[in-house]
Structures are given as C-alpha cells and as structure tokens.
A and B are shown apart, each in its own frame.
Chain A
Amino acid sequence: MANANLIQPDLDFVKELTVEGGGGESLKKCFQCATCSVVCNVTHTDRPFPRKEMVWAQWGLKDKLLGDPDVWLCHQCSDCTAYCPRGAKPGEVLGAIRKISIQNNSWPSAIGKLVASPSGLIPLLMVPIFIFGAVILGLGRLNHLEGPIVYEKLVPIPAVDAIFMTAALFAALSFFTGIKKFWKAMLDATGRESVRGSVVPAIIAALSEIIAHKRFDKCEVTSARASAHKLVFWGFAGLAVTTTWALVYLYGFHLESPYSLINPMKWLAFASMCSLLYGIYKVVSNRKDNAEKAGEGSYFDWLFIWLVVLVGATGAMSWGIRLLGIAPLAYLTYFTHLVLVFSLFAYAPFSKMAHMVYRTTAMVFAHHVDMEK
C-alpha cells in the first residue's frame, strides 16, 4: 500500500472551475483560514465544510469532491462567502462543483455539456420545438383553430401526454443512472462497499427535512431565500397535484378540458401558479439584492431560474390570453409553454433542477451514515 495516499491533482478540473464563467473563479484565493466552516450553519461538526472542499478543489481532487455528500448538503446560504476574508466565495465555488457533479453524473453527458454552456441553448430548445412542430404540422392542426380557444385543438392531449411521459421517462432513467453513480462515488470516497441496513429511515428523515426546509432556514446572510424557495417548491408540488388531477379527469372520468372556473382543481392550479410566480420573483430579487455579498451566480444558475420564470409566465399567460380570447397569441404562448415545460423536465437531470435529486440523495446518504454510528 505504498501509494495508498498518492494524490494526483487533476489540473483540468481546477481549470474547469476557475475559467471565466466556470463559477469557481475565486477558488484559488482561499488561504485555508476556515472562517467559512466556522460561520456555516448547515455544516455538521465532525468534518465541517466548506474549508476542506476548497482545498480539495484547489488541488484538483475531483474524485473526492464528486463523492462528497457535503458538497450537496451546502444550501449556498453564502454566509461563508460573506465572511470570507479573501473573497474566495466558497458558496459560489461549491455551486460550481455541484454543476460539474451534475454534468458528471448525468447520462448522456453530451446533453450535460449543452446545458452548461450558453451555446447549447438553441440546440436544446430546437428539440421540443421540432417535436411539437412535427405533431402540429403532421396532424394539420393549424387549419382547425377557428372558434373558441381550446388548446386541445393545437396539440391533442394524448400527444402532449405521450411526449411528456417519454420525456419524464427519459429524465427518470437519466436520474436513476446519475443517482447510482453518485451513490457509488460516495461509497468509494468513504471506503465502503455498500451501506449497512435499510435506507428507508434515512429517506424519511431527509424528506421530512426537505418538506420543512429545516436546513435552508438556518441561512443567515441570505435568509429570505428559504421562504422564496418554499414558495417555488410548494408551487411545483401544487402543479404536480393539479397535473395528476387533470390526468384523472381525462382518463378516469373522460372529462375534457377546459374546465370550469369554479372547479376546485382550477383553484389549486391558480394558487400554485401564484406561489410559483411570486416565489421565483423573490428568488430573482433576492439574488440581485445579495449579489454584493453572495456573488452574481453563474449561467447555470440563471438558466434554471429563467426557465422556471418562463414556464410560470407562459402558463399563466396561456390561461389569461385564452380568457381574453386573442386566439393567435394564445396558441403561440401555449406552444412556447409546451416547449419550455418539455425543456424543464427533459433536461432536469442536466440542469440545476437536478439539485432536487442529488441533494436529496446526499442527505439520505448523510443521514444513513449518521444512523450507522
């Protein structure tokens, strides 16, 4: 075991972080004073982060970081960034590491590269545009749009569902391989073959933590972020319930949309939409307010945020414009909405959306390791 601790810094990994736009431009400024680990409220105390992650990143120890649950336990409160005496912005650096981690774990990795770079945006959007465009043109739907605005006329609901089901399946498959890879990396990093016992208690612990935003609430410098995130989170949850509800109506009771405005499903949809829109507005405004202390955030972050904003906005507009009866604009908005929703879900494993999966996995792993003791 002479070379057991042989360290081989991955210079490309360092450059990937520190390159302009990499998100970790400030990484090398760290001089290891550990102020970050001291001010962090969400770190555990036995091997606190993010000090150790900073030196690992400086040394290009990619494997260690990709198998490190702490990278994901970080909620980017930015307390560390605000207090860092050297301007090394540990919060930003960990965010950049998470981006690389997402790209590295997700499959196929080519899509990951496209999501991470501004030049990949057009090709990515072309995919849903092409699919939905093909359906619309193929079925000749553009010629049957007269009369009251019914979105079913543009794209048949079963087609929408089929496309989204496929996208969701693809995302789920990609997530599954990603989680598997991440789990293995975490096992390797801690020198384990597998975890002992059932992970169910750890999953329950992690989920209850997530639902209540227990960790997020500990942030200080960017304390408003937790409530904004809650609104977005519950908005998405509500919309998920609405979607399920709609599926039940359609396939269970064969009720066709649009539904009446007094239908409670509409109320839930409306409430969720408001929550999502106001939440994401707060996310954006918080980020602007905190930029000086917490950093500007990367393209990767903003891509996700704007996607959510636009999904929410086009969703709301599709509804509003339909009620106003402006047909061409309504259909165009609806089409955009479909494209964006597709992007949100199909590319979720490669975008920042993936944080919900990886952070949850990391929390489960961390809880499980704690419970093993």
Chain B
Amino acid sequence: MEKKIGVYICEGCDIGENLDMAKLQEIATKEYKVPVVKTHRAFCSSDGVDLIKKDIQEDGVNTIVVAACSHRIFYDVFDFGADTITERVNLREQVVWSHPVPKEAESSGESSGGGEEGEAATGVDEDTQMLAEDYIRMGIVKVQKKETPVPYQSEDEFVNNIMVIGGGFTGMTAALEAAETGYPVTIVERQKELGGFAKKIRQQLPMKTPFNTLEEPTIQGLIDKVSNHDNITIKTNIEIARISGAPGQFLVSFKEPGSKTEWDVPPKLEEGEEACGTTDAKDASGDAVEPAADQVNCADILSVDPDAEKFGAVVVAAGWRPYEPSEEEFKHLGLGKFKNVVTNVQFEEMAAKGRIEAKSVAFIQSPGRESDDSDFPYCSSVTSLVSLKQAQYVTRDNPGGKAYVFYQHMRTPGLYENFYKAAQQNDAVFLTKGAVTSVGASGDDDQLLVSVDNTLLGESIKVSVDMVVLATGMVPSTQFEPVINLAYRQGPEFKDLELFSGYCDSNFICFPYETRRTGIYAAGCVRQTMTMAECVEDATGAALKAIQCLESSNRGMAVHPRSGDVSYPEFFFQRCTQCKRCTEECPFGALDDDEKGTPKPNITRCRRCGTCMGACPERIVSFKDYSIDMIGSMVKAIEVPEEDEEKYRVLCLVCENDAYPAIDMAGMKGLKYSADVRFIQVRCLGSVNVVWIADALASGFDGVMLIGCRYGDDYQCHFTKGSELCNRRMDNVGETLQRLALESERVQQIQLSIDEYDKIPEEINKFMEVIDSVGFNPMKGF
C-alpha cells in the first residue's frame, strides 16, 4: 500500500492557545514532506471529522496522524476503517495540560484565536513547544513504520468444542452453560461416575435467597441434565495424558487412570539435561539428573498423537482434595489418637450415610493453640459455613444434642451472613471465639475433653463431648498434579503455583478465569475455595471465556487482554541463533522450540504482549504495527539538544495498561512535570528491547525511564511477567552502560499502578534530579 500521510493538528482544548501551531505544521511539511497538513479548532467535531474523511475520499489520504487528545479518548470518532492507518499524537493530556504555559501566552492566544496559520503566537513556552514538536515527529515516523496487520490464518482447521476437566458440580455446570449456548462440550472425569464431592454430602449450603436454609442436594438433577444433553459428551474413568497444540486446535490424548502411555507428557527438560546440549555451562558440573525410568519412552512434545481428540478450549474444574494432616500435625487435637476425632469431610460422609449418633460434638476451626490464631491450612469461608451446617446435623439428629463451634475466625461473607444468623438461632448451637489448646480423654467412656482458652465467656473453659470435628481445608487439585499435562516446552503444569499455595494461577481481580495458558480457563475450587453457589457463577464465567477464546482464535484475534488485536509476532528465522530466550521468557508458553532450539510459535496461545520481541537479542521478532524498528525510529526522531543548549532529554517508555492511562489522568488533573521527558507507549515493559535503551543513550539522551506495573508476589502486570522480566533485563543494560562509560542511575524502572497518577510528577522530578546530579550525557554530539 502506497502511504499518503495526512497530519491533522487540533487547536481545541488549550492546544492552539499554548503552542505555536505554524511551527508544528512546518515540522510535518518541511521536515517530513507530509503532503496534507491541516489544523482545525476541534477535529472531534463533525466538521473536523468530515474534513479528514473528505481528504480520505477526495485526496487519497490513507495514513492519518491526529495530533489532539490522548488516543484513549474519542477512539471511535477517529476510527476511519481498516483500510487506513490512524495514529494519535497526544498534545493535550501529555503536552499542554501537563506542562507550564506562561501567563501572557493565554491572553495572546485568545486574541489570535480567530486568526489562522502564519500568526506566530508570542510567549509560547519553549520547552513545551519542543515537546509538542517531538511528538509530531514521533507520530509521523510511527505511521511511516506501521503496517496494517493481517489476521493470522492457520492451515489446520479450528474447532469449536470445549473440553471440561472434572465432572463435579463446577465442571458439569460449566459444561451445561456452554452446551446451552450451542457449543459441543466433552466432560472428562477420572472417577467412574459424575458428581464429585457434591454427591457425597447430606445437605448443601443455601444456593438461593435469602441464603439461610440448608438445601437437599441438587447434584442428581444436574447429572441427569448433563447426561441427557445433546451437546454434551461424557467420558468417565479416563485421564488426560497430554494436551498439545494451541487454542482452537488443542490435541488431547486420553488414557486409563493411573496407566502409563507413550503419550504421557514428558517433564520439562532442565538445563544440562538436554540431549543436544547448550552453550550455557552454568550447571555443567551440577548433579546429573537421571530421567525417571517411566518417562523415558514418552514422545517429545512436538510429536503428534494420531489418535488425539481435537478441542478448541479447555475449562479446568478439577476441584479440590481434603487436606491430609500428617500424623503429628494435630496431635494436640487428638487426631489419629482418638477414633472420635474426625475431619469435616469424614463427618460429612458419616452424616450422608445416616444418623449422627454423637449427642455432643465440638467443631474446631483453628488448631493454633494460644500462640497462633490461624485456622487449618486451606481453610476459608467454606469451612466456616460447613461447620455451621454440620452443627445443625447434630441437633437435628439428637433432640437435646449439643454442637459447640470454637473458632478464631468465623467467615460468612455477603449473604451467607443470613446463614450464620439462622444457624446461630438454634438453641443447641454454642458459638465462641477461642483458642483450642487440647483435646484429651475425659475419663469416662469415649468422652473427649476439649480445652479452650480466651473464650468470649471470659475464661478458659472445658467441654465434654462425644465427638470432635476438625475443620480441615480444601486443597486445590493443582497442588498435587499438573492436571492439564500440557505438551508445552515450558512444562506440563500451570506456572508459579507456589505463589498461590497451589491454586490455579490468575490475576484474581481483573481476570479471574484466565490462567497463564491461553485457552485454558479455571473455575471452582481449583482456583479459589468457594461454595457451590459461587461455583455456579464461576463455572458460567469460565464457560463464557472458553467461548470467547474459540470465537477469537478462529478469527486470528487475541483473546485477552488485547481482545480483538489481530497483530501477531512474526519471526525472521534466518537470523535466529536458537538462544531460546523467547521460548523461556514468554509468560504464556506460546513458543515450543524444536530439538535444535528454533522456536515454533503457536499464535493462538499468544497474547501479543511482545515479550518475545523484547527478549530477542537478534531482534528478529516483530509485529506489523509494533516493531523494534518502529520504536527505534521514533526514538531517533526525537531531537536531542546540543550540550550547549543546556537542556536534558529523557526517554520514558511507558506500559499501555497502567502507566499510560495514569499519565493521561495526571494531565487531566493539571499536574505539571518536566518538559524534558518524551513518552513512548509500549505494549508491556516485557516488550522493551534493550537496544532501544542502548541507542537512546548512545545518541545523547541523558536518561531512560521505564514505567510499568508492579511485579513480584502481588504483581499487577497484565501479562504476568512483563515488568519483572524488564527489570531482569536491566542487568544487561548495566553492561551496556559500562561499555559506554555511563552512570547506571541513568536508567531506572518505576512501578506504578493506574490509581497512582498523583505520583507521576514526583517520580519524574525525582528522576530529573538524579539526572541533574550526574549531569549531561557525555555522548551528546557523537
């Protein structure tokens, strides 16, 4: 496509009054020879838009730069269709609203308001003007380098069926929800029959308003519905050997539970363990890891099982397992010592079988004695609610029966407070906070003596009971096994499970169902302990996410969080050195390298963060509309003042997810900061290639700031690892700086979340002070 560029500089929203518009136009016309350059008092008005549209239709303009407000505003107004490339230059939030304009500029601006071009505004702030000019340059260069992305097409067929792992309450609900919308679903259950734990209980916690009465189990109805549904296939007594492929085209190999097959997924190969060896010799002397005997025969992850079944997306509803205390763990509570000390799961099974014989039962929520008020491991509101439920069994089965509940925390969130109130109303349920110090023999019969300190009764008490029930927790299945058995080079399991105590990872606030494996969505207790009512909501959410995935993958679109993005990474393999950095760093395991180490991209797994682009030392990864060259050229387009001008220049690469909107907000609030800083928006700090930083410093920039999301245990990165990886790459920058004999302070990464817009001036000014203390970049002019 022959590009014909049009630059449209808006005068509205204080821009025209505070900037020298004539000079801005000259940048486009003189420096870049742009054929069409226009101004208007408000391009967002219908007049303004029509002006641009007229140029497109009559003048053949197809590449548009709108220099006005932030691209986060009026994106629909300035959408000129897929045949044009449109770029926005942010002259409002990031220039005139956030930088000083002299008083006289305002008055002269008003007087010259009616005049058109040619009238040079007097009193324009020099630095602010330079900033605007640089942004015009960068915008023009950006569209010059940008290409229109073409959606990814695959030779393999995309399918639209969903596999649900787990035939319990959540799994069946997810299957039913998806099937009801018309998508074929297969439920995979390891046990011989559907139902999971919900089938083993006597009564279930309330599922409907006002959430105050126990309900008869509804699981059988669900099993019947699922079993008779035309869109649902059920596979029981079966296990997943491996899932290979990518969203829209997953290939699933099944096997008998517990058996070993050729298609079992091999474990992740560690460094030094590989057949072909790598140049990395860090671990060369390390202990030779002996491959487990039963894994030797596993086919490599890239081999294709001809018998595998094809699925478009996966919902993981693998549920939970009861916490298994070790023998010594709760010895002070008599577990393992007295036969009438049981766990809540054991008690539920007893209750499901028949009448509870014990006339008095103590329910213990917290094992911590006095020293520690923690509950049992993996406890939650569910275990609190279950204790209240089981207490009702005792008093219903035994007139005159008594149920004691000893807790450190009674968690009954939201409407479950109604259930607490109802449970409490039972005369024979005795509740108190307290530290249970011991459970011992009472002396007579099988009675147990429970000792509790620090109770609400104002003293230490002892009660004599027939039975003790410990509210042990619910451990997610992913704590014990990978469940999904992915044939991915990064390994068969979800990543970073240890950060979440084994719960299937997700950014629980923004994206609860997305795991770090695109196309695989978690629901129910595998992701977070929850009640059945909550599981319904969760299962529905995950089913809808799976459908979104199917309907995005087949259109060549990113699913999340850049939903609808049709660009994707392309690799110029001739220059690949097989360093595998992209394979290893991709937060989503989108790349599988072959035996040589050449990455094989799986585009539908990709979330388009560009981490591979940032990782590649050979710079062979690029997107049609986002590339090393594009950002590199934008950096070069910035005019770096000569040393004698005594002006600093700082490049600031900002994450589009949190930092960029925060900077816009700072502008909207009128917060002011240095005009020596040039922002460039990046998809994620993970996509920042060190070469941009090195080039900037080599061409005289005095410093480089990187503003991205929080990383670490409580990361907020939309791509999970981007900001963390960027931080790690700064080590490499350190070497570059040394080579250039520059101070390491010149490059800094800042963690910022979207609500911290008020910190922007402070952070920038702090960095400018640092630059001031180290002085001008000595490389200027070289």
Contacts and interface: CB of A to CB of B under 8 A. Distances in A.
Contacts of B346: none
Interface stretch (A24-32, A152-160, A329-337, A354-362): A24-32
A29 B424 contact: yes
Given A7-B462, A7-B463, A52-B458, A29 B402 contact: no
B461 A5 contact: yes
A366 interface: no
Interface stretch (A53-61, A257-265, A296-304): A53-61
Interface in A1-46: 2-9, 11, 14-15, 18, 28-29, 31-32
A59 B462 contact: no
A47 B459 CA distance: 12
A170 to B, nearest CB: 36
Contacts of B428: 11, 14
Contacts of A47: 458
A58 B402 CA distance: 12
Contacts of A61: 457
A4 B449 CA distance: 12
Contact of B421 (A2, A5, A29, A58): A29
A28 B424 contact: yes
A55 B404 CA distance: 13
Nearest to B432: A55
Given A29-B425, A32-B456, A5 B430 contact: no
B462 A58 contact: no
Interface string B422-442: 001111101111000000000
B460 interface: yes
Contact of B427 (A7, A18, A29): A18
28 contacts: A3-B449, A3-B462, A5-B460, A5-B462, A6-B449, A6-B461, A6-B464, A7-B457, A7-B461, A7-B463, A11-B400, A11-B402, A11-B427, A11-B428, A28-B424, A28-B425, A29-B424, A29-B425, A32-B433, A52-B457, A55-B456, A55-B457, A56-B457, A59-B430, A59-B432, A60-B430, A61-B457, A86-B421
A18 B429 CA distance: 13
A5 B449 CA distance: 11
Nearest to B427: A14
Nearest to A18: B427
Nearest to B395: A11
A267 to B, nearest CB: 53
Given A56-B457, A61-B457, A9 B402 contact: yes
Given A5-B459, A7-B457, A14-B427, 12 more contacts: A2-B449, A6-B461, A6-B463, A11-B428, A15-B427, A32-B433, A47-B458, A52-B458, A55-B457, A58-B431, A60-B430, A86-B421
Interface in B651-679: none
Nearest to B401: A11
A32 B410 CA distance: 12
A150 to B, nearest CB: 58
Nearest to B453: A5
A61 B425 CA distance: 17
Interface of A: 2-9, 11, 14-15, 18, 28-29, 31-32, 47, 52, 55-56, 58-61, 86
A366 B449 CA distance: 35
A28 B426 contact: yes
6 tightest A-B contacts by CB?
Answer: A7-B461, A14-B427, A6-B462, A55-B456, A28-B425, A5-B461
Contacts, number: 55
Contacts of A14: 427-428
Contacts of A52: 457-458
A4 B462 CA distance: 8
B422 to A, nearest CB: 10
Contact of B430 (A3, A6, A18, A58): A58
A98 B430 CA distance: 22
Nearest to A30: B424
A15 B461 CA distance: 22
Contacts of A56: 457
B278 to A, nearest CB: 62
A31 B423 CA distance: 12
A371 B62 CA distance: 96
A9 B460 contact: no
Contacts of A29: 421, 424-425
B449 to A, nearest CB: 8
B453 to A, nearest CB: 10
Nearest to A6: B462
Contacts of B457: 7, 52, 55-56, 59, 61
Nearest to B424: A28
Contacts of A9: 402, 430
A28 B427 contact: yes
Contacts of A2: 449
A55 B431 CA distance: 9
B400 to A, nearest CB: 6
Nearest to A59: B430
Contacts of A58: 430-431
A314 B400 CA distance: 48
Interface in B379-398: none
Nearest to B400: A11
A222 B504 CA distance: 57
Contacts of A60: 430
Contacts of B400: 11
B59 to A, nearest CB: 71
A28 B425 CA distance: 5
Give the interface centre of A5, A14, A18, A31 by most chain B CB atoms within 10 Å.
A5
A32 B460 CA distance: 17
Contacts of A4: 462
Nearest to A25: B425
A186 B151 CA distance: 86
Contacts of A5: 459-462
Interface in B456-482: 456-464
A3 B425 CA distance: 29
Nearest to B440: A2
Give the interface centre of B400, B433, B460, B463 by most chain A CB atoms within 10 Å.
B463
A28 B424 CA distance: 6
B458 A31 contact: no
B423 to A, nearest CB: 10
Contacts of A6: 449, 461-464
Contacts of A8: 463-464
Contacts of A59: 430, 432, 457
Give the interface centre of A28, A32, A52, A86 by most chain B CB atoms within 10 Å.
A28
A8 B449 CA distance: 12
B424 A31 contact: yes
A94 to B, nearest CB: 17
A51 to B, nearest CB: 8
Nearest to A54: B456
A55 B424 CA distance: 12
Interface string B683-708: 00000000000000000000000000
A27 to B, nearest CB: 9
B177 to A, nearest CB: 37
A15 B429 CA distance: 12
Contacts of B433: 32
A189 to B, nearest CB: 12
Contacts of A55: 432, 456-458
Contacts of A28: 424-427
Contacts of A32: 433, 456
A340 B78 CA distance: 93
Contacts of A3: 449, 462
Nearest to B404: A9
Contacts of B461: 5-7
Nearest to B423: A28
Contacts of A18: 427
A52 B433 CA distance: 13
B431 to A, nearest CB: 8
A136 B458 CA distance: 59
Nearest to B426: A28
Contacts of B459: 5
Nearest to B429: A28
